[in-house]
Structures are given as C-alpha cells and as structure tokens.
Structure 1
Amino acid sequence: MRKLLTLAAAAGFAAGLSAGASAYEQGDIILRLGAATVAPNEDSDNIGLPSEPPITLPGIGIDNDTQLGITATWMFSDRFGVELLAATPFEHDFTVKGLGIDGGSLTHLPPTLSLQWYPRGGQSGWQPYVGIGVNYTYIYDEEVSGELKTALSAVLGASRADLSLDNSFGPAAQVGVDIPLGDNLGLNLGVWYLDIDTTATISTDVGRVKFDVDVDPWVYNVGLAWRF
C-alpha cells in the first residue's frame, strides 16, 4: 500500500504540473469520499488469567477493516485548512494470541480533527498536504466469541464473559495528495496515523481481567476529492 501511494503521488506530481485545475484558495471547501482501511499496529499487554496455576497469554491481535471514509476541509487561507475525518463504523475481529482462537469483535468510530498545510495552495495543479490533529475513538458493540467463552469456562469455570474497551483520545498525523482530474475534481490518496490507546476488561462471574492495548492504526484512503 505504501509503495502504491508513493508511485501514485509521483504520477500525480508529473500530471499535475500540466493540469489546468483551479488552485485551492481561501474559502474553498474540499469534500473527499473514498475507501478507508484501518490497519491496526497493535501492541497488547499480556493477559493474566486468574487460574490455578496462573496462566499468561501474549495479548490479542486485531484485523483490518475497510469502510467509507468521509472528510471535509475548510480552507481558512490559501495554504491552511481545517479537516474533519468521519467514516461509517469500523468493525474488527480479534484473536487471542497463544490460544490461536477467535476472541470476538468490536466496533468503533474514529472522528479526527486536523490542521492541514498545503504547500502549493494558491497554485493550480496537484495539491499535496500534511496535517496534525486530535483523534477521539468511540468503541462500542464489544462481543466475546463462543470459542473464547468456551475456553474461559474450561480454564476458569466461568459461565459468562463480557468485554468492554475504554474510549480513546490522542494525537493524529496525516499526509496526502489530491491529483487533478478536472477543474474541481481530483483523485485523493491519504494516510493517517492515529494514537489509539485503550484498556480492555473481560468480566466473568469468577473475576475480571484487565489489560492495555495500543491499537495505533495506519489508515489508508483512496477516493475522490471535490472542491466547492
């Protein structure tokens, strides 16, 4: 994916030099829609089960998910804008390392507000940008799989198991480029890095297990950009 973004950005540079697209200017609104893939770069604490003797598992792994990404940028000057990132809900399955079983799933929304800099703002052609901002991740619909419930029943004697994860607030960074396809239309390629840290709690009728998870995903977007 990174190589694809690099090649596409290079192609956009060459094409953009001769493109007649209008320049981004103060007061413009840029709407971007595309396929956004959240790829967790997770680092999970070990999971200590309150069994006899104690059992320690090497954390969890979280899979990728792709949804509709939506961003809107307001240019408050030719070179600077404020962007709000939204998306349809992302749903991730996770596995329990050490057991090699499906652990369950979670759903989240990661709205992100960023300040962007457009080095070619006010000039026609391609429009690269970088941004920094803050992310709030709302996590809900946490589910424990039947496999994990069975394993906890066998190890702990638990008759039920529920999962909850704390919401997260942290910094975010991004790079991207709009490659002109017309006067007000372009191809958008973008990458975000989101600092998402949460604490997971598995509650059973024989005790609770808590462990920290740094999700810290890369988010890749490929789509279209409209300038209004």
Structure 2
Amino acid sequence: MRATLFVLGSAVAFGAMAMPVAAQDVGDIQIKGFVTGVLPDGEINEVEVDTIGLPAGSQTSATDSYVPTIAIEYFVMPNISLETICCVTPHDVRGEGALAGADLIDNAIILPATVTAKYHFDVGAIKPYLGAGPAYFFIFGEDVGRGASGLGVTDVDLSDELGFALQAGLDVTLNERGLGLSIDAKRYFVGTTATFNAGSVTALQTEHNLDPWVVSAGLAYRF
C-alpha cells in the first residue's frame, strides 16, 4: 500500500514531463494544511552492544502515527519551488519475533526537519511534481516501555540523525482564487541508534531503520 501510493504519484509526475511547464510566478507562496500518516519501519539492522542476551529472532517495529501538518512552499522559478513542513509525530517501539508483544519504547516524538526542492509540471488543472532534499530527525521525549523496564532498563535514548527524502504528489486547482487540493507522498531514508541504559551502564545498543513513508492529503492556498 505504501509503495503503491508513491509509485502512482511518481508515474503521474514522470508521465507529465512531456507536458508544458506550469505558469507559476516567481515569488508565489503556497501553504498547505494536511492530514498526514507517518508510517515508519523501525526494524533492527545491527546490534552493537548486548549485555541482556537478546534471544535469536528478536526484532522490532515502530507504530504508525496520524497527525495534522502544514507545508510552506516558495517558488524560486516558475516551475521550481522550495518546501518545508511542520509537524511532530509520536511513535512507540514494539517487539517482534522473539520479542513479540514487548513494549520497548513509549512516546518517542519525532520532528522531521525537511527541505525539498520540487519540480512542477502542468496538466491543466492538475499539476504533478517531484521533489527531493535533506531531512534531519530530532527525536525526543522517549520513555522506557514496560517490556524493557522488566529487563532492568532505566533509561532509553534514540539518536538524532541526518537523512534524505524523495517526494511526489499532485496539486489540483479548485478555483481561480488560489484554492487547491494537494496529495503528497514522501519516502525518507534515515536511521537511528537506540541506547538502553541500566543505571550508568549501556545494557543494549541497536541500529534501526526508520525509513518512514509520509502520506498526506489536504487543501492548499497559493498567493
């Protein structure tokens, strides 16, 4: 489902490359209000420290989150814009495989500071776009889950990390006063290091893929 949304958006945008470029004005600003689903992975890809003795087949996943978000976009050229987003998303980390059912991390808050450069195409009232850019994930507020606490963990930290985002979407003009509909999909490529401490000792340290899909739909206003 996640991959399908992104592939469809990309296919429409690439199909539009033969169409005329959108006649935006340099200096135009577009603000978008979205309902957004943040769908991370969260699996372990490396165990760096393990004094707990994780059983074979231990794995993790991160929960999905659904939040309101805002995107602000500035057109630096008629068909090229820069966009940033504003949102924070809460997630839990749960055990899978041999750890199935274990609550490991509760209420980790992610602030995905992201800037993408976007290229817009014109298909009449429908304007697909492609984008890409850097992202820095600030992660804070994480609490020790009951499953980790039962193993003697007293503190947990998820590292802030630099990553990258790919983007595809559609802007659909609703009227001549700047109102539109927008559908957007991003795929982030970013990880994090989870450090579980028992007092002053690092009991477990693992590398995780976050790599979330971020899928949004909402209204846009351009002025």
TM-score, normalised by the number of residues in structure 1: 0.81
Residue of structure 2 in register with 1:207 after alignment: 201
> Cα offset for 1:130?
0.5
State the alpha-carbon separation in 2 of the partners of residues 85 and 23 from structure 1.
24
State the alpha-carbon separation in 2 of the partners of residues 141 and 49 from structure 1.
23
Matched, 1:166 2:188: no
State the alpha-carbon separation in 2 of the partners of residues 115 and 206 from structure 1.
43
> Cα offset for 1:204?
0.3
Contact 1:180 1:187 in 2 (8 A): yes
State the alpha-carbon separation in 2 of the partners of residues 55 and 169 from structure 1.
28
Contact 2:59 2:99 in 1 (8 A): no
> Cα offset for 1:206?
7.5
State the alpha-carbon separation in 1 of the partners of residues 214 and 54 from structure 2.
34
Residue of structure 1 in register with 2:51 after alignment: 50
Residue 119 to residue 147, structure 1, CA distance change in 2 (3 Å): same
- The alignment of Structure 1 onto Structure 2 pairs a total of residues equal to 206
State, as a whole percentage, how many aligned pairs show the same letter. Answer: 25
Contact 1:24 1:124 in 2 (8 A): no
Contact 1:175 1:190 in 2 (8 A): yes
Give the letter aligned to residue 218 of structure 1: W
Contact 1:196 1:214 in 2 (8 A): yes
Residue of structure 1 in register with 2:182 after alignment: 188
Give the letter aligned to residue 141 of structure 1: G
State the alpha-carbon separation in 2 of the partners of residues 24 and 127 from structure 1.
11
Equivalent residue in structure 1 for 2:114, among 112, 115, 120: 112
State the alpha-carbon separation in 2 of the partners of residues 177 and 212 from structure 1.
35
Contact 1:23 1:124 in 2 (8 A): no
Give the letter aligned to residue 129 of structure 1: Y
- Give runs of ≥4 in structure 1 deviating > 6 Å: none
Cα-to-partner distance string for 1:24-62 (whole Å, 9 max, x where unaligned): 2222101111111110133313556424xx433523110
Partner SS for 1:99: coil
What RMSD over aligned residues (CA atoms) do the two structures have, in Å? 2.5
- Of Structure 1 and Structure 2, the greater strand share is in 2
Residue 171 to residue 206, structure 1, CA distance change in 2 (3 Å): closer
Structure label with greater radius of gyration: 1
State the alpha-carbon separation in 2 of the partners of residues 4 and 62 from structure 1.
20
State the alpha-carbon separation in 1 of the partners of residues 134 and 46 from structure 2.
28
In structure 2, list runs of 5 or more residues that go unmatched. 16-21
In structure 1, list runs of 5 or more residues that go unmatched. 14-21, 153-157
Contact 1:23 1:125 in 2 (8 A): no
Stretch moving more, 56-65 or 29-38: 56-65
